[in-house]
């Protein structure tokens, strides 16, 4: 298995190279000019041209890409065109809020969605099942920002239980940290809960028809043991896969959620960078996201061995 | 259909009702927060070099950290700020300035004349008025630690205005070591002598910027008036909290999580006005002027008749309503290129924008200009509420006068680069784009880049009209107010006759702040001195 892990980690390198080349090319071809944004609306074309030259944006694609790639190889993500700060520092400033949001969302989603799906499968066809499925459809259909506004209206403005916006670092206390994250995490997890609940239900329905479940029942195993020990463990592989795939969903959703709740995370950093054409920041963040995604998928693959002893790497 | 904006209004509206109840503040936030003023700025402070980056938000933040030699008051008069006295030779060629004693930078080093010289040299490369002075400059030198001299080849009567103006870039004074940075390269140290220090360690671009009171600031012993007078700091810290979502900013203001919001969108203003804990008022009485910019290099707008056709049919009422809705107090029709309500304002030659709109006349003029249905490339930034609203109205206007509109919906970053292209519209160029100018920049021609008509050197669209340029020169040479007025009237008339671009109207916006905050003034820039929070 260790060799497998090494192989998979090494396999991420060509993936990252392709991502880097793709992102760089896309940004190079995309319309827009950071120099024009920097110069301001009143600047003359000559001013814009001079700023472009000072930023090195007038150099050919190959030169710029080679230079950037060389820096990346040495672990240097470059300097933001706008802030003049190292991209790695800007990412470091923003990673905690995003990571916190994603972890809380993930925990919330799994803790709610898996039991929901299990119960829905157990009570298939009942009102409980229909309620769970109705919730799932709602969770998919209502955009994250709408859920966010509704939650903020009731629980922040109305009841004053949580703040409307912002982020408190974990270092300032668990309570304030969690208080800032509850509403955004609930908003962000709605679609995720729906996805996991549906998959859990579908997989569980299939597993519950299997012979070994009938055998377990015949042996007198309790309902809870059958559902959570025999059935859920066998249904775990597709569920875990969906949780992994959903990380991409979370990354996309975090961009919107961070804007709605004014959380200074990577999502907002990405949006700001795209709107201003801050190429080094966009490239750095996209590389980070793709690396995280590849890494999560690796972890998911490895976790299969925990649920299914037949899987060996 | 439920639009996102409608949802925001609904949510914020209901919230307003809830929050009108007493006991609004979150205790944890209220406690000990009186010395920190939390402000939601108009945009993200992405960089902090007010000479390198000339966005208004950078200028506004710069005003806290860097002081200026002069500052305009609410009557647009330049007043001494860092300068104690000035002397101009009888021929108007030599200006000698003396600095106030005791001025200190945030690193506690004294402000010296050599710092001023370096700062002015850097500023003059980027600023239109500075460039004019540089063009006629003999030398700019430090005479001693407190005195500097600017010698010119010909008189420049607007010298004090150039050093006092609010237009970006302002002539902020920095230490010499910083000011020696190339004007097209960003500075890396943010040390000024203004009333606040920039707390760089707490700066998260896109999220937060913090300014702390500078105890070593020497305030003038005068009544404050915009950029001039005493700048007394009444809070320990000013925190800029960037909020990209207006509904979130509205909710945070109502909830007491922030104290002052620079630019509430008009949809949310009724909600804010209904909250008894908030003040809502005009932010900047000088407002903004909307622009319909045409490309003079390509058909049909290389023909004056085509440009005039647009102005004949343009309904400013439509543009303004699209932008501010029913808030009639927020806009004025503007048969002029200049800011209404200011001393030099003129409507000379503005009749083409007044009265009933003449669509048939516009069609006739277009025909005379040889327009035969070619696509008109209208490039519209959809991520800016102002340009989006203007773009929709323009598309309708152009269709009404028989033009074939190629509506390019894009973002501001793309407009910023595409408008610089002189290529034909079918090859990546453009015919029309929208923008707006701060009214403070349009009070006179001093820094009004959009009014230049010097062809290739002019602002995007590149109008070429030597008569307008000559009228501008007359304003700069004007010896008194009457001569300035006459020059501006001539300039407005000539520019209207040539339809160098189309003003879409004058509009203002609101600002909102909590009632425990006092000292907020109406001005082109949010000023943080003399603002208290209880």
Which of A32, A79, A157 is the best mutation test for B, with the most CBs of B within 10 A?
Answer: A157
State the smallest CA–CA distance between residue A20 and chain B in angstroms.
22
pLDDT tens, A74-106? Answer: 889 999 988 989 999 999 999 999 999 999 999
Paired sense of beta strands B517-518 and B404-410, if any: unpaired
DSSP element (H, E) containing B213: strand B208-213
Percentage of chain A modeled with pLDDT above 70? 99
In the structure encoding, which two tokens stand for residue B269, read together? 């203003």
- Does B186 contact A at CB distance below 8 Å? yes
Output the pLDDT for position B25: 36
CB contact under 8 A, A149 and B19: no
pLDDT tens, A264-294? Answer: 999 999 988 988 889 899 999 988 988 888 8
State the smallest CA–CA distance between residue B169 and chain A in angstroms.
10
Contacts of B414 in chain A (CB under 8 A): 31-32
CB contact under 8 A, A158 and B251: no
Measured on CA atoms in the order B349, B354, B357, B360, is the torsion positive or negative?
A: negative
Q: Where are the alpha helices (DSSP H) in B314-457?
A: 316-324, 359-368, 385-400, 412-418
Mean pLDDT rounded to a whole number for chain A: 89
Measured on CA atoms in the order B42, B43, B45, B49, is the torsion positive or negative?
A: negative
Output the pLDDT for position B8: 45
Measured on CA atoms in the order B263, B264, B265, B269, is the torsion positive or negative?
A: negative
pLDDT tens, B231-286? Answer: 999 999 999 999 989 999 999 999 999 999 999 988 899 999 999 999 999 999 99
CB contact under 8 A, B188 and A47: no
Q: Which of residues 151-180 of A touch B (CB under 8 A)?
A: 152-153, 156-158, 160, 163-166
CB contact under 8 A, B168 and A40: yes
Output the pLDDT for position A297: 83
Contact B260, B61 (CB under 8 A): no
* Number of residues written out for chain A: 313
Output the pLDDT for position B275: 95
Closest alpha carbon within chain A to B447: A42
In the structure encoding, which two tokens stand for residue A143, read together? 């955009």
CB contact under 8 A, A84 and B47: yes
3-state SS assignment for residue A209: coil
CB contact under 8 A, A31 and B188: no
Output the pLDDT for position B7: 46
Contact B140, B117 (CB under 8 A): yes
- Pick out chain B residues at pLDDT < 50: 1-32
Output the pLDDT for position B33: 58
- What's the maximum distance between 2 C-alpha atoms anywhere in chain A? 84
Instruction: Compute the average pLDDT of residues A213-228.
Output: 89
DSSP element (H, E) containing A67: helix A61-73
Residue A58 has pLDDT above 60, yes or no: yes
In the structure encoding, which two tokens stand for residue B358, read together? 């003449």
Upstream peptide bond of B440 is cis (omega within 30 degrees of 0): no
- How many CB atoms sit inside 10 A of residue A298's CB? 17
State the smallest CA–CA distance between residue B219 and chain A in angstroms.
31
Contacts 24+ apart (CB under 8 A), B301-306: B301/B431, B301/B432, B303/B369, B303/B370, B304/B498, B304/B499, B305/B365, B305/B366, B305/B368, B305/B369, B306/B365, B306/B366, B306/B369, B306/B371
> Domain map of chain A by residue range?
95-307
ipTM: 0.82
Cα A255 to the chain's mean position, in Å? 9
- Does B423 contact A at CB distance below 8 Å? no
Q: How far apart are CA A38 and CA B54, in angstroms?
A: 7
CB contact under 8 A, A42 and B417: no
State the smallest CA–CA distance between residue B364 and chain A in angstroms.
34
Query: In the CATH scheme, what architecture does the domain A95-307 have?
Result: Orthogonal Bundle (1.10)
- Does A260 contact B at CB distance below 8 Å? yes
């Amino acid at each position: 298995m260790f060799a497998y892990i090494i192989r998979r980690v090494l396999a991420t390198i060509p993936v990252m190279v392709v991502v880097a080349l793709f992102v760089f090319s896309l940004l190079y071809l995309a319309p827009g000019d950071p120099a024009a944004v920097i110069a301001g609306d009143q600047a003359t074309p000559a001013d814009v041209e001079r700023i472009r030259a000072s930023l090195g944006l007038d150099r050919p694609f190959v030169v710029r890409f080679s230079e950037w790639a060389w820096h990346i190889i040495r672990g240097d993500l470059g300097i933001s065109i706008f802030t003049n700060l190292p991209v790695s520092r800007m990412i470091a400033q923003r990673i905690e809020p995003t990571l916190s949001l994603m972890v809380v969302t993930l925990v919330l989603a799994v803790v709610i969605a898996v039991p929901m799906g299990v119960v829905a499968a157990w009570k298939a066809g009942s009102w409980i099942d229909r309620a769970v499925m109705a919730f799932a459809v709602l969770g998919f259909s209502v955009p994250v920002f709408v859920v966010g506004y509704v939650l903020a209206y009731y629980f922040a403005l109305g009841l004053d239980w949580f703040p409307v916006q912002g982020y408190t670092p974990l270092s300032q206390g668990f309570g304030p940290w969690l208080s800032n994250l509850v509403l955004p995490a609930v908003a962000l997890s709605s679609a995720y809960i729906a996805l996991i609940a549906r998959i859990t239900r579908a997989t569980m329905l299939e597993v519950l028809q299997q012979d070994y479940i009938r055998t377990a029942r015949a042996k007198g195993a309790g309902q809870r043991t059958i559902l959570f020990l025999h059935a859920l463990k066998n249904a775990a592989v597709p569920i875990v896969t969906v949780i992994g795939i959903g990380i991409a969903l979370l990354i996309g959703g975090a961009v919107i959620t961070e804007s709605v709740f004014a959380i200074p995370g990577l999502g907002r950093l990405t949006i700001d960078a795209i709107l201003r054409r801050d190429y080094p920041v966009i490239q750095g963040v996209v590389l980070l996201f793709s690396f995280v995604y590849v890494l999560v998928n690796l972890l998911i693959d490895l976790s299969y061995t925990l649920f299914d002893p037949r899987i060996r790497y | 259909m439920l639009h996102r904006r409608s949802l925001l209004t609904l949510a914020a509206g209901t919230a307003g009702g809830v929050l009108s109840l007493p006991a609004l503040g979150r205790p944890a936030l209220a406690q000990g927060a009186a010395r920190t003023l939390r402000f939601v700025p108009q945009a993200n402070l992405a960089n902090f070099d007010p000479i390198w980056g000339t966005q208004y938000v950078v200028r506004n933040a710069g005003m806290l950290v860097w002081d200026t030699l002069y500052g305009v008051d609410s009557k647009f008069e330049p007043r001494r700020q860092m300068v104690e006295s000035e002397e101009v030779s009888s021929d108007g060629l030599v200006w000698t300035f003396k600095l106030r004693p005791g001025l200190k930078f945030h690193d506690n080093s004294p402000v010296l004349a050599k710092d001023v010289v370096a700062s002015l040299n850097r500023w003059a490369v980027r600023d239109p008025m500075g460039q004019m002075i540089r063009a006629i400059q003999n030398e700019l030198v430090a005479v001693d630690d407190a005195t500097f001299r600017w010698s010119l080849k010909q008189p420049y009567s607007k010298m004090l205005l150039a050093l006092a103006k609010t237009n970006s870039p302002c002539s902020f004074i920095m230490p010499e070591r910083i000011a020696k940075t190339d004007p097209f390269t960003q500075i890396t140290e943010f040390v000024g002598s203004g009333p606040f220090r920039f707390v760089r360690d707490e700066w998260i671009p896109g999220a937060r910027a913090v300014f702390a009171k500078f105890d070593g600031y020497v305030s003038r012993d005068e009544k404050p008036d915009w950029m001039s007078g005493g700048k007394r700091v009444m809070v320990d810290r000013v925190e800029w909290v960037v909020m990209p979502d207006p509904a979130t900013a509205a909710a945070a203001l109502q909830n007491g999580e922030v104290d002052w919001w620079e630019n509430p969108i008009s949809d949310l203003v009724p909600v804010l006005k209904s909250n008894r804990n908030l003040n809502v008022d005009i932010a900047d009485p000088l407002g903004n002027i909307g622009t319909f910019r045409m490309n003079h290099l390509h058909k049909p707008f290389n023909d004056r008749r085509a440009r005039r056709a647009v102005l004949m049919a343009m309904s400013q009422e439509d543009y303004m309503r699209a932008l501010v809705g029913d808030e009639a107090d927020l806009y004025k029709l503007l048969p002029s290129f200049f800011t209404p309500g200011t001393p030099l304002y003129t409507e000379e030659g503005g009749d083409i924008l007044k009265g009933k709109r003449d669509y048939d006349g516009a069609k006739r003029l277009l025909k005379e200009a040889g327009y035969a249905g070619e696509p008109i490339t209208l490039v519209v930034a959809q991520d800016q509420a102002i340009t989006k609203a203007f773009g929709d109205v323009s598309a309708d206007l152009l269709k009404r006068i028989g033009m074939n509109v190629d509506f390019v919906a894009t973002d501001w970053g793309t407009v910023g680069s595409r408008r610089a292209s002189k290529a034909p519209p079918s090859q990546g160029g453009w015919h029309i784009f929208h923008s707006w100018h701060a009214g403070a920049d349009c009070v006179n021609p001093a820094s009004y880049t959009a009014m230049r008509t010097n062809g290739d050197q002019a602002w995007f669209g590149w109008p070429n009209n030597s008569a307008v340029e000559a009228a501008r020169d007359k304003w700069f040479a004007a010896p008194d107010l009457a001569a300035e007025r006459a020059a501006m009237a001539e300039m407005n008339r000539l520019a209207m006759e040539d339809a160098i671009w189309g003003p879409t109207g004058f509009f203002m916006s609101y600002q909102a702040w909590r009632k425990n905050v006092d000292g907020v003034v109406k001005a082109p820039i949010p000023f943080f001195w003399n603002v208290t929070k209880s």
